[in-house]
A and B are shown apart, each in its own frame.
Chain A
Amino acid sequence: MSMTNIVEILLVEDSPMDLELTLRALEKAKVANHIQVARDGAEALEFIFCEGAHAGRRIEDAPKVILLDLKLPKVDGLEVLQRIKGDPRTKSIPVVVLTSSKEQRDIVESYKLGVNSYIVKPVNFERFAEAVQELGFYWLLLNQPPKAG
Chain B
Amino acid sequence: MAIILLICGAVLLLTCGAFFAYEVVTFRQTTLQQLTTLGEIIAANSTAALGFDNQDDAREILASLKAEPHIVAASLYDKQGKLFAKFPEHLPADDFPTAPESDGYQVGRSHLAGFQPIVQGEKRLGTLYIKSDMGAMYERVRLYAGIVVLVIGASLLLAYTLSRILQEQISQPILALAETARAVSDRRDYSVRAVKVSEDEVGLLTGAFNHMLTQIQEQTHALRESEGRVRAVLNSALSAVLVIDAAGRITDWNARAEGMFGWPRSDALGRNLAETIIPPRYREAHRRGLEHFLATGEGPVLNRVIELSSLRRDGSEFPVELSISPIKGGDAPTFCGFITDITERKQAEDALRESEKRLRTVIDLVPHFIFAKDRDGRFLFANRAFAESFRLTPEQLAGRLDTELVPDRAQYEAFRRDDLDVIESGTAKFIPTERRTDLAGRTHIMQTTKIPFAAPGTAGPAVLGVAVDITERQQAHEVAERFAAIVESSDDAIISKTLDGTIISWNPGAERIFGYAANEAVGRSMVILSPPERVDEEAGILARIAKGERIVHLETVRVRKDGTRIDISSSISPIKDATGQIVGAATIARDITARRRAEEEIRQLNAELEQRVVRRTAALEAANKELEAFSYSVSHDLRTPLRAMDGFSQAVLEDCGPQLPPEGRRYLQAVRNGAQQMGVLIDDLLAFSRLSRLPVSKREVDPGQLVRDALDALKFLRHDRQVEIRIGELPSCHGDPALLKQVWLNLLSNALKYTRPRNPALVEIGCARESGENVYFVRDNGTGFDMQYAHKLFGVFQRLHRAEDYEGTGVGLATVQRIIHRHGGRVWAEAAVNRGATFFFTVEGETRS
Distance A99 CA – B636 CA, assembled complex (angstroms): 7
Nearest opposing residue in chain A for B651, CB measure: A24
* A17 contacts B by Cβ under 8 Å: yes
Complex interface: stretch among A54-62, A120-128, A133-141: A120-128
Beyond A123-B678, A124-B676, whether A100 also contacts B635 by CB under 8 A is yes
Contact assessment for A21 and B637 in the assembled complex, using a CB-CB cutoff below 8 Å: no
Interface size class of A (residues with CB under 8 A): 20 to 34
* A12 contacts B by Cβ under 8 Å: no
* B648 contacts A by Cβ under 8 Å: yes
* A15 contacts B by Cβ under 8 Å: yes
A21 CB to nearest chain B CB (Å): 4
B784 CB to nearest chain A CB (Å): 33
CB contact list, A30-81 vs B, under 8 A: 70-71
* A18 contacts B by Cβ under 8 Å: yes
Distance A126 CA – B647 CA, assembled complex (angstroms): 8
B691 CB to nearest chain A CB (Å): 12
Nearest opposing residue in chain B for A24, CB measure: B651
Distance A125 CA – B671 CA, assembled complex (angstroms): 12
Nearest opposing residue in chain A for B639, CB measure: A100
A128 / chain B contacts, CB cutoff of 8 Å: 643, 647
Distance A121 CA – B647 CA, assembled complex (angstroms): 11
Nearest opposing residue in chain A for B682, CB measure: A123
CB contact list, B27-51 vs A, under 8 A: none
Q: Mark B630-644, 1 if CB is under 8 A from A, else 0.
A: 011001110111111
Distance A126 CA – B643 CA, assembled complex (angstroms): 10
Distance A25 CA – B756 CA, assembled complex (angstroms): 37
A126 / chain B contacts, CB cutoff of 8 Å: 650
B683 / chain A contacts, CB cutoff of 8 Å: 102
* A87 contacts B by Cβ under 8 Å: no
Beyond A102-B683, A124-B676, whether A21 also contacts B644 by CB under 8 A is yes
Contact assessment for A125 and B643 in the assembled complex, using a CB-CB cutoff below 8 Å: yes
Nearest opposing residue in chain A for B638, CB measure: A100
Distance A49 CA – B635 CA, assembled complex (angstroms): 30
Contact assessment for A18 and B635 in the assembled complex, using a CB-CB cutoff below 8 Å: no
Contact assessment for B632 and A101 in the assembled complex, using a CB-CB cutoff below 8 Å: yes
B847 CB to nearest chain A CB (Å): 33
Nearest opposing residue in chain A for B632, CB measure: A103
Contact assessment for A71 and B637 in the assembled complex, using a CB-CB cutoff below 8 Å: yes
Contact assessment for B643 and A123 in the assembled complex, using a CB-CB cutoff below 8 Å: yes
CB contact list, A93-149 vs B, under 8 A: 99-104, 121-126, 128
B135 CB to nearest chain A CB (Å): 209
* B675 contacts A by Cβ under 8 Å: yes
* B212 contacts A by Cβ under 8 Å: no
A104 CB to nearest chain B CB (Å): 8
Beyond A102-B683, A102-B686, whether A125 also contacts B646 by CB under 8 A is yes
Beyond A102-B683, A123-B676, whether A18 also contacts B644 by CB under 8 A is yes
Nearest opposing residue in chain B for A16, CB measure: B644
* B679 contacts A by Cβ under 8 Å: yes
Contact assessment for A123 and B646 in the assembled complex, using a CB-CB cutoff below 8 Å: yes
CB contact list, B662-719 vs A, under 8 A: 672, 675-676, 678-679, 683, 686, 690
Beyond A24-B651, A103-B632, A128-B647, whether A123 also contacts B642 by CB under 8 A is yes
Distance A55 CA – B164 CA, assembled complex (angstroms): 223
B632 / chain A contacts, CB cutoff of 8 Å: 101, 103
B665 CB to nearest chain A CB (Å): 15
In-complex Cβ contact of A101 among B636, B643, B644, B676 (8 A): B636
A125 / chain B contacts, CB cutoff of 8 Å: 643, 646-647, 649-651, 672
B640 / chain A contacts, CB cutoff of 8 Å: 15, 17-18, 100
Contact assessment for A124 and B635 in the assembled complex, using a CB-CB cutoff below 8 Å: no
A21 / chain B contacts, CB cutoff of 8 Å: 643-644, 647-648, 651
A46 CB to nearest chain B CB (Å): 24
A15 / chain B contacts, CB cutoff of 8 Å: 640, 644
B686 / chain A contacts, CB cutoff of 8 Å: 102
B648 / chain A contacts, CB cutoff of 8 Å: 17, 21
Beyond A123-B676, A124-B679, whether A17 also contacts B637 by CB under 8 A is no
B676 / chain A contacts, CB cutoff of 8 Å: 123-124
B637 CB to nearest chain A CB (Å): 7
Distance A24 CA – B646 CA, assembled complex (angstroms): 13
Q: Mark A1-34, 1 if CB is under 8 A from B, else 0.
A: 0000000000000010110010010000000000
A99 / chain B contacts, CB cutoff of 8 Å: 636
A123 / chain B contacts, CB cutoff of 8 Å: 639, 642-643, 646, 675-676, 678-679
A29 CB to nearest chain B CB (Å): 14
Contact assessment for B643 and A121 in the assembled complex, using a CB-CB cutoff below 8 Å: yes
Distance A90 CA – B651 CA, assembled complex (angstroms): 35
Most chain B CB within a 10 A radius of its CB, from A99, A103, A124, A128: A124
Contact assessment for A124 and B637 in the assembled complex, using a CB-CB cutoff below 8 Å: no
Distance A119 CA – B268 CA, assembled complex (angstroms): 152
Distance A70 CA – B683 CA, assembled complex (angstroms): 18
Contact assessment for A101 and B650 in the assembled complex, using a CB-CB cutoff below 8 Å: no
Beyond A24-B651, A122-B679, whether A17 also contacts B639 by CB under 8 A is no
A18 / chain B contacts, CB cutoff of 8 Å: 640, 643-644
Nearest opposing residue in chain A for B653, CB measure: A125
A17 / chain B contacts, CB cutoff of 8 Å: 640-641, 643-644, 647-648
A71 / chain B contacts, CB cutoff of 8 Å: 636-637
B101 CB to nearest chain A CB (Å): 201
Nearest opposing residue in chain B for A126, CB measure: B650
Contact assessment for A100 and B675 in the assembled complex, using a CB-CB cutoff below 8 Å: no
Contact assessment for A124 and B651 in the assembled complex, using a CB-CB cutoff below 8 Å: no
Contact assessment for A70 and B636 in the assembled complex, using a CB-CB cutoff below 8 Å: yes
A121 / chain B contacts, CB cutoff of 8 Å: 639, 643
Contact assessment for B679 and A103 in the assembled complex, using a CB-CB cutoff below 8 Å: no
In-complex Cβ contact of B636 among A24, A100, A104 (8 A): A100
B87 CB to nearest chain A CB (Å): 217
B694 CB to nearest chain A CB (Å): 8
A102 / chain B contacts, CB cutoff of 8 Å: 635, 683, 686
B670 CB to nearest chain A CB (Å): 14
B641 / chain A contacts, CB cutoff of 8 Å: 17
Most chain B CB within a 10 A radius of its CB, from A21, A99, A125, A128: A125
A105 CB to nearest chain B CB (Å): 8
Contact assessment for A124 and B646 in the assembled complex, using a CB-CB cutoff below 8 Å: yes
B728 CB to nearest chain A CB (Å): 34
Contact assessment for A101 and B635 in the assembled complex, using a CB-CB cutoff below 8 Å: yes
B656 CB to nearest chain A CB (Å): 14
Distance A101 CA – B678 CA, assembled complex (angstroms): 15
In-complex Cβ contact of A103 among B635, B643, B647 (8 A): B635
B672 / chain A contacts, CB cutoff of 8 Å: 124-125
B642 / chain A contacts, CB cutoff of 8 Å: 123
Distance A101 CA – B644 CA, assembled complex (angstroms): 16
Nearest opposing residue in chain B for A100, CB measure: B639
Nearest opposing residue in chain A for B690, CB measure: A104
Contact assessment for B643 and A100 in the assembled complex, using a CB-CB cutoff below 8 Å: yes
Distance A122 CA – B676 CA, assembled complex (angstroms): 9
A94 CB to nearest chain B CB (Å): 23
Distance A122 CA – B646 CA, assembled complex (angstroms): 10
A101 / chain B contacts, CB cutoff of 8 Å: 632, 635-636
Distance A103 CA – B637 CA, assembled complex (angstroms): 12
Distance A101 CA – B679 CA, assembled complex (angstroms): 12
Distance A99 CA – B635 CA, assembled complex (angstroms): 10
A43 CB to nearest chain B CB (Å): 19
Closest 6 A-B residue pairs measured CB to CB? A123-B679, A17-B644, A125-B647, A21-B647, A100-B639, A125-B650
11 additional A-B pairs beyond A100-B635, A101-B636, beta carbons within 8 Å, are: A17-B643, A17-B644, A18-B643, A21-B644, A21-B651, A99-B636, A122-B643, A123-B675, A124-B676, A125-B646, A128-B647
Residues on A facing B (Cβ under 8 Å):
15, 17-18, 21, 24, 70-71, 99-104, 121-126, 128
Q: List 25 A-B contacts (CB under 8 A).
A: A15-B640, A15-B644, A17-B640, A17-B643, A17-B644, A17-B648, A24-B651, A71-B637, A100-B636, A100-B637, A100-B643, A101-B635, A102-B686, A103-B632, A121-B639, A121-B643, A123-B643, A123-B678, A124-B672, A124-B679, A125-B650, A125-B672, A126-B650, A128-B643, A128-B647
